[in-house]
Chains A and B, each alone.
Chain A
Amino acid sequence: MSTTKATLKSFIEESFLEGTARTTVEDDLSFLEVGLLDSTGVLELVDFLEQQFEISVEDEELIPENLDSINQICTYLESKGVSTG
């Protein structure tokens, strides 16, 4: 597993699994579909991405296609020039 993916996984698991039946997050799990993220969680995730990877998440990038799973976030980060290898 890449460092980026491991970092993301660790953040998601630490921040959003509390109070759910899950103990881990699969790479392609849809956060919104299983109710892992509420609107505060989305903002928390965006804040984490901006700080951790030193990127700016633009409004038009605030869409499920970019943020709804670990795999999608990795693809999105690559599009922002972050190496996820």
Chain B
Amino acid sequence: MRSRRGETPFLLGPGIFAVVHRPEGEAALPGWLLCSPFGGERTNSQRLFVSWARYLAAAGHWVMRFDYRGTGDSLGDFEAFTLRDYLEDIGTAAGELERLSGRPIEGLLGLRLGADLAAMFASASDRPLTLVMWEPVIDGGRYADSLLRTAMANELVNLPGPHRTRADLRRQLAEGGLVSADGFPLTAASFDSVAGIDLPRLGRPTAGPVLILQFNSRRNQPPKPATAKLAELYGKTGDTTLECVREPNVWMKTKLYRWHLDSAFEITRSWIGRHGAAGSPGQTAQPDATAEPATAAAGEHAVQFEVEGERVWGILHEPVGPGVDGIDIVMASAGEACRAAFFYPRLARALARRGWRVLRFDPRGIGDSEGTLECAYLSEVFHKIESGALRQDLSAAMDFLDGRGGPRQHAIVGLCGGAITALFAAQGDGRVRGLGLLDFSLQLTPEPNPDKQPAISLETPWHEELAQHRSTLPLLKVRKLYHAIRSRGLETVHTVLRTIRFRSAASLGSRRWYRERIGDDVNLPLIAALEDAISEKVPMCFVFAGNNHDRLLRSILPGVSAGRPHAESLIDVKVLEDADHNFIMPGCAERLTDEVVAWFEHRFRLQRPGEAEGPPARADVR
């Protein structure tokens, strides 16, 4: 499968997920292999690498990006691998890129710890590779300590004290335990492999040219002393360039929705143009136009489909063993996070093992998918999601699954923004038969800039707002009645009757009633979607992370259930105590996975093939 852009995703060798970007234009310049950062930094910078790979391919280069085993979309558990394995993966990916492009790779570009791994790989190579190091980790020991500090900060924010010290965490590792840093479980072996990195001691890694790029968030900030010293060391024995760019540290969580880093991209591309080995002797082999990636056999593979003319990417997990007949599960990405973030691969694999076909995918503007959300800040992204802007993407995902095996029914699972999109997507779509809604909020994210218009208008109509004041009520009732009948005729009788009802107190299930419970920032369209899902008898499992969100949901259940006597039987609310919003604390992803899988088993157990009864109709579910 090859996308319009000439991007081919595939599973390589021992389960390494990789994407090759074929060069655009006639030049077909030599290949560059991109080496991702470690753990959470990899997740945060995923779209940065997608953006950079597309930029470099547009400049005429072959490019490959990939996930180390146990990370991203690659197979395996994070804790099963160390940097030694990552180096092997770099070798495997480099070999495949050379096979596809028909010539040796020109160089490697790595970000953060990926820059160190690129340097280590180049150091062991018998060829003078060109090397681009974006914000390399100079001292692995300090970096490993920062991972422990991340684990401590996770505890500080999410758990009641007393909190563990660095010594406690080190002891836990030494005793064979795991320490989770932002949801990535470290073992003693993986921790030691990181701590053992010492770039200055490694020495200059290649006889080829080296670019070190430092990202500064502030203008005219000088290079960090350690980075400057590394550049000085490298400069003693070869061509070395140190550049500083004013760009955000997007490998950390920032509040920006910005992945095309203009100055970093331009400086790097023009440096590659000046220093690359394109056209040099020994690199004249022609690519095999028919060469296709060496795809490994696995029960999960990359897929693509279109949403309003733009390609979106996903991973399809085929059921292991006998499938659950009739229902597929779609996992909706959480906020700006890609399909591989948090517990998503774990949950998808667990569901596939129980017989479900599962699709987890990136909506437009997220992860690998094309498009943009046209936002500058993440809070704007959240606002768009909260207004249902991505429901079309979920609908297209269900269309895609339908197209692979006839019309089917679907359940949707999503965390936070993914849950919100799931509810909106279920509204009016009879294919949706179940919803797993994980730690979502009924409140709207405030606008980042008061000068901007909100993504959707949630303003109460003037007549409803004023109708809450008794003195204006009679006049407004008459006026609204007149306008309603004039504009919409008798069909509005029901609405009109509701309006003219005397409301000294907010009536159950009214906008005002919801506002009184949730606050002025209540997401009323989302509540309407919830009401519709109940009316349509869609079973829902809400799982909350021991925060305030479950209390808010419970407070409105009488409202959304009013006039819907079956509501109670459709809604399951679970709370995972001591869990955090993204379920990254130790054991949370496992507990969440167990809860969700158990709920699906319980709700849809009748649909396993071989059992006596067929699939339940919507109204038949418990």
Contacts and interface: CB of A to CB of B under 8 A. Distances in A.
A39 B182 contact: yes
B157 A18 contact: no
Interface in B90-111: none
Given A19-B377, A19-B379, A59 B156 contact: no
A40 B156 contact: no
A85 to B, nearest CB: 27
A37 B157 contact: yes
Interface residues of B, number: 26
Contact of A43 (B153, B161, B167): B153
A21 B446 contact: yes
A62 B152 CA distance: 8
B258 to A, nearest CB: 14
B255 A19 contact: yes
Interface in A2-21: 18-21
Contacts of A64: 156, 161
B252 interface: yes
B448 A42 contact: no
A39 B379 contact: no
B165 interface: yes
Nearest to B380: A19
Nearest to B167: A59
Interface residues of A, number: 19
Nearest to A19: B379
Given A59-B165, A59-B166, A64-B161, A19 B153 contact: no
B83 to A, nearest CB: 22
Nearest to B164: A59
B498 interface: no
A19 B161 contact: no
A1 interface: no
A24 to B, nearest CB: 14
A59 B152 contact: yes
A18 B445 CA distance: 10
A19 B157 contact: no
Interface string A55-76: 0000110111001000000000
Nearest to A16: B255
B521 interface: yes
Contacts of A60: 165
Given A19-B446, A20-B446, A59-B165, A42 B157 contact: yes
A38 B584 CA distance: 12
Interface in B147-202: 149-150, 152-154, 156-158, 161, 163, 165-167, 182
Contact of A39 (B150, B161, B165, B448): B150
Interface in B367-393: 377-379, 382
B158 A21 contact: no
A51 B114 CA distance: 26
A32 interface: yes
B172 to A, nearest CB: 14
24 contacts: A18-B255, A18-B448, A19-B255, A19-B379, A19-B445, A19-B446, A20-B446, A21-B521, A37-B157, A38-B253, A39-B154, A39-B182, A40-B153, A40-B253, A42-B153, A43-B150, A44-B252, A59-B149, A59-B152, A62-B153, A62-B156, A62-B163, A63-B161, A63-B163
